[in-house]
Amino acid sequence: MTEEKRETNAEGMTFPCRLRVRAMGLDQDDFDALVVEIVRRHCPNLGEGAVSVRPSRTGKYVSVAVEAEFHSREQLEALYDELTANERVLMRL
């Protein structure tokens, strides 16, 4: 069995690691599918139960959380950049 290389960067994060990424936007029919599509471009192997959706109290907004495995800081930053660039994503965490 081979041991996977672990990388620790200046911010103290060690890769590979599992992180939960959140994106918030207007609660429209396909917002959750949009977020999952973007995440899959960067992390194609999402596991079952990786996605959770939570509407706001008023029902106007929705938060989509996706748990995925990241192998580098660059991979995580590329995902954040794409989420930020999408006009339907109002906030990402």
pLDDT digits 0-9 by tens, 14-29: 999 999 999 999 999 8
Alpha-carbon distances, residue 10 vs 46, 71, 92 (angstroms)? 27, 15, 22
pLDDT digits 0-9 by tens, 36-89: 999 999 999 998 999 999 999 999 999 999 999 999 999 999 999 999 999 999
Domains and CATH numbers, the chain: 12-92 (3.30.70.260)
Report yes or no: 83 and 92 within 8 Å, Cβ to Cβ.
yes
Whole-prediction pTM value?
0.86
Nearest to 35 by CA among 5, 66, 60: 66
